[in-house]
Amino acid sequence: MKKILFASALALSILSCKQNESGNATVAENAVDDTDSSLKGSFESGRNENMIDKIYSELIKKDKNLKELDEKLVNLNEENRKVLATYEDILYKSESFYQDAHFQATNVKDSLLKQQLEKEIKISSDNYNQKISKVKELINKVNTNNDHITNLYTAFKIRKALPEIEKYQNAHPMKTDNLESFIKKQDQLLSELKNIK
């Protein structure tokens, strides 16, 4: 008897779901007041995309000054990458040389020769480090400036996007009646299931 009642309740809930399928589209459509937003296109895509960048890219399309600023930053980043790449290649090769020289010197069996080699490698390495200290200092300054520019531009983009997300939220106030109605259906089925014996 319990199995029959449970099967009946299950069948009724499935039937009620099927009957409401056509109504579910309107329930979902009526979940928010859908009024137009000035940046509607930036809110229509998937959830995994960066919303700030999407909103900002829509703003760029409409504002020539923002577009010019963005192009300046893109060009500066590309130039930054190229300038540093030249120095990093030379620095990497020199540092790799000294590491390899030190490693190979440790494998020399003659202890006197090993000491002489390690001393010569250290003198050369110290001289090189002295010679490039200004270069490293300037590279650090370039990296610090780049980080600062990136941080300020990120803050700028967020500040530009904030009013747009607020417009979107105001254009789409969420209603509670559909959720409340659905919870009543859930409660009704829960009650039926609890009373099955």
pLDDT-based confidence at residue 49 (cuts at 50, 70, 90): confident
Q: How far apart are CA 61 and CA 41, in angstroms?
A: 12
Range with lowest mean pLDDT among 26-35, 61-70, 147-156: 26-35
CA nearest to 182, candidates 55, 67, 24, 9? 24
Long-range Cβ contacts of 7-15 (<8 Å, 24+ apart): 9/189, 9/192, 9/193, 9/196, 13/189
Of residues 27 and 97, more confidently modeled: 97
Does residue 27 have a pLDDT over 60?
no
Chain centroid offset of residue 101 CA: 42
CA nearest to 160, candidates 73, 52, 69, 61? 52
DSSP 40: G
**pLDDT (average), residues 55-61:** 94
User: Quick one: pLDDT at residue 10?
Assistant: 42
Other CB atoms within 10 A of residue 174 CB: 10
* pTM of full prediction above 0.85: no
Q: How far apart are CA 90 and CA 39, in angstroms?
A: 47
Q: pLDDT (tens digit, 9 = 90+) per residue, 111-166? A: 999 999 999 999 999 999 999 999 999 999 999 999 999 999 999 999 999 999 99
Other CB atoms within 10 A of residue 89 CB: 10
Tokens (6 digits) for 49: 């995309």
The C-alpha angle with vertex 128 and arms to 124 and 134, in degrees rounded to 5, equals 160
Q: Give the three-state DSSP class for 197.
A: coil
Q: pLDDT (tens digit, 9 = 90+) per residue, 67-98? A: 999 999 999 999 999 999 999 999 999 999 99
